[in-house]
Structure 1
Amino acid sequence: MARRRRFTHGGLDVWPGYVDALSTLLMVVTFVLLVFVLGQAFLSVSLDRRQHTLDQLQHQMAELTRMLALERGHEHTLELTVASITAERDKTQAALKTLGAQLDQRNQDLGEQAANSRADEDEIARLNDQMIQLNQQLAAVVQTLDIAQKDVKGRDAQISDLGNRLNIALADRVEQLKKYRSEFFGRLRDILHDEKGVQVVGDRFVFQSEVLFPQGSADLSPAGQAAIQKLAHTLKQVATQIPADLPWILRVDGHADRTPIHGAFASNWELSSARAITVVKVLIGAGIDPRHLAATGFADYQPLDTAQTPAAFARNRRIEFRLTDR
């Protein structure tokens, strides 16, 4: 008791305040950890549901494609059958016509003869029987042809329905790619919102050339290297969520202004293409699969601003990123 009185004598007792502050800090850290764990759990459930939905769509589209191929094979077989029946019908009609001509000629010959023999009557009866049989065969062929044509029409309707369903499935895949493109651009916008000369234009993410390259050069500046590394990091995160069977590419488009170029490049074609290729190489070096990358050069033939001013020229000197399908 004497030692405690000496500690508090002439000043404040800070021990209770220290204990309260430590308890408060401990509760705050516990609360933050709890929020983080819950957020990770909700995110994991959302990603599992999304992957399950994409697997179902992939299975449906594969089944529709298989059914369409099968129906097309059936249609080809029916077409061959119809063609064979049609040829047989034509041959039967030709034979019937020939037989009719023979019968007419025979009747004419018999009419010219003075007396009818029994043999001639038997021949006439035989020819009449053949004509009846041929007519019956022709009727059967026509009936078979009608059935085959109806079957072909039914197959055509099924193929049309399968085509519509396949188109719907393909449209759904396009919508999926749009969703990932929106997520990719949204993340890039959040990461690069403080960068001047960077903006989203429609379905493209646009960097003004001065952000990435020195004037007239296809070598990235240090700031440009950093910006492309950020873009690559974001693309890798989004790419892990895109299904493996969804065909997509990040197209890197190089653009120049109308000012004639002098120096290492023969024209704006070479400059714009070289800049796009440089960016693609950096992305590959950062771990992006080359099969999902494309570099194109447009020189000065796709301007954003047609005015003949320095500001317009600056807008037209740019690198555009477009996430699209192959």
Structure 2
Amino acid sequence: MALARGRRSQRNVDYWPGFVDALSTLLLAIMFLLSVFVLAQFLLSQEISGRDQALIRLNAQINELTQLLALEQSSSQDMEDALSSLQASLSDAESERSRLQQLLDAGSGAGAEAEAQIGSLSGELDEERQVSQRALSQVELLNQQIAALRSQIGALEAALDVSEARDQESNAKIADLGRRLNVALAQRVQELNRYRSDFFGRLREILSDRENIRIVGDRFVFQSEVLFATGADVINPAGEEEMAKLADAILDLQREIPPEINWVLRVDGHTDNIPLSGTGRFRDNWELSSARAISVVKFLVANGVPAERLVAAGFGEFQPLDETNTPQARDRNRRIELKLTER
């Protein structure tokens, strides 16, 4: 009885690493959401910048056409003034002709001279009428050009209004898309957390109840001694038995997770901080931890787990669970971790 109580006291659960890992996962999720938000803001700024440039070009065209319209209106006014002057001269010439005709009709002695003056005035009158007609034609042409310019300005202003309306609609759509993306990401994280919880619960049921197989935060942890001999990357028979159970659990999980969730099981290899001699098969702890993770992945693939759902990573001694330099800490740090995450 005393021995059993002693063993239970040795298996006290250390919640601190789990809390740290959960907090790390939360921070990673927040950083991912912030990255998506920054990307959306960047795309929005690019879209707005392009529309601002288009608005600037449209305003420049309107200003140019407005200036042309002012010049045309000024020219039209000048032509109208010249036409008025010609018409006034024409009126004076007709009055003079009428006066001379009256003198001629009265039979004065100056009839011949009056007829000569009348002929001269008639010629001048015809010439002024021709000039007046040309002026009228030019004024009509200018009026047509002014009408065309006004039509172009109206079309540009309408296009500018449409562009501004589209810009506002685009901004509203981008904002709505950002909100929906955030909601979708949050739902994905919640769904994956639920499946992760179910997966770890199932592993806890089917794997052996051993101290060197445990859950730390969002990861399932095998101590290296369960799977490998010291300095080796070949899974031992006892480890193959545990890994076969793990493969069955992964296959059951795959049938339950919806296909739209692009999940992977990451296998992380970790070692202690004791350097390798460099004369064996592995030069350092990087190579040893990576080789062990790859061995686990290959075993799971050989037992039916799809390769595209697995990732192998080696961390060497650089991600310890316990940073104290004691034999107990080194035992804890030599491990294989399984983490269900989204690609």
Q: TM-score range by the shorter chain?
A: 0.5 to 0.7
SS of aligned partner of 1:194:
coil
Corresponding residue number in structure 1 for 2:168? 153
- Return the alpha-carbon distance in structure 2 between the equivalents of residues 125 and 106 of structure 1: 9
Corresponding residue number in structure 2 for 1:224? 239
Which moves more between the two structures, 224-233 or 247-256?
224-233
Q: Scaled by the length of structure 2, what TM-score is found?
A: 0.62
Displacement of 1:242 in angstroms is 1.5
Q: Confirm or deny: 8 A CA contact 2:66 2:153 kept in the other structure.
A: no
CA RMSD, 1 decimal: 3.3
Query: Which AA in structure 1 matches 2:70?
Result: G
Q: Confirm or deny: 8 A CA contact 1:273 1:296 kept in the other structure.
A: yes
2:180 pairs with 161, 165, 180, which one? Answer: 165
Corresponding residue number in structure 2 for 1:305? 322
- Return the alpha-carbon distance in structure 1 between the equivalents of residues 77 and 170 of structure 2: 49
1:142 counterpart = 2:157: yes
Query: Which AA in structure 2 matches 1:187?
Result: R
Identity %: 42
1:282 counterpart = 2:299: yes
Larger radius of gyration: 2
Query: Which AA in structure 2 matches 1:149?
Result: E
Distance 1:267 1:310, change over 3 A: same
SS of aligned partner of 2:256:
coil
- Return the alpha-carbon distance in structure 1 between the equivalents of residues 294 and 142 of structure 2: 84
Q: Confirm or deny: 8 A CA contact 2:264 2:309 kept in the other structure.
A: yes
Displacement of 1:107 in angstroms is 6.7
2:221 pairs with 203, 206, 223, which one? Answer: 206
Corresponding residue number in structure 1 for 2:67? 97
Corresponding residue number in structure 1 for 2:274? 259
- Return the alpha-carbon distance in structure 2 between the equivalents of residues 272 and 156 of structure 1: 49
Corresponding residue number in structure 1 for 2:39? none
Which moves more between the two structures, 275-284 or 194-203?
194-203
SS of aligned partner of 1:277:
helix
State the number of aligned residues: 247
Displacement of 1:191 in angstroms is 2.6
Which moves more between the two structures, 272-281 or 167-176?
167-176
2:198 pairs with 146, 160, 183, which one? Answer: 183
Corresponding residue number in structure 2 for 1:294? 311
Displacement of 1:206 in angstroms is 0.8
1:246 counterpart = 2:261: yes
- Return the alpha-carbon distance in structure 2 between the equivalents of residues 149 and 204 of structure 1: 51
Q: Scaled by the length of structure 1, what TM-score is found?
A: 0.65
Displacement of 1:225 in angstroms is 1.5
Distance 1:287 1:145, change over 3 A: same
Displacement of 1:297 in angstroms is 0.5
Q: Confirm or deny: 8 A CA contact 1:86 1:145 kept in the other structure.
A: no
Corresponding residue number in structure 2 for 1:316? 333
SS of aligned partner of 2:275:
coil
SS of aligned partner of 2:266:
strand
Distance 1:162 1:141, change over 3 A: same
- Return the alpha-carbon distance in structure 2 between the equivalents of residues 159 and 215 of structure 1: 56
Which moves more between the two structures, 226-235 or 266-275?
226-235
Displacement of 1:232 in angstroms is 1.3
Which moves more between the two structures, 87-96 or 161-170?
87-96
Within 5 Å, give how 1:72-91 maps onto structure 2: 83=54, 90-91=60-61
Unaligned runs of 5+ residues in structure 2 are 1-42, 87-130
Distance 1:238 1:107, change over 3 A: closer
Distance 1:221 1:89, change over 3 A: same
Within 5 Å, give how 1:12-27 maps onto structure 2: none
Distance 1:196 1:258, change over 3 A: same
Q: Confirm or deny: 8 A CA contact 2:220 2:338 kept in the other structure.
A: yes
Query: Which AA in structure 1 matches 2:336?
Result: I
Displacement of 1:306 in angstroms is 1.5
SS of aligned partner of 1:199:
strand
Displacement of 1:216 in angstroms is 1.0
Distance 1:143 1:105, change over 3 A: closer
Query: Which AA in structure 2 matches 1:148?
Result: S
Q: Confirm or deny: 8 A CA contact 2:244 2:303 kept in the other structure.
A: yes
Unaligned runs of 5+ residues in structure 1 are 1-71
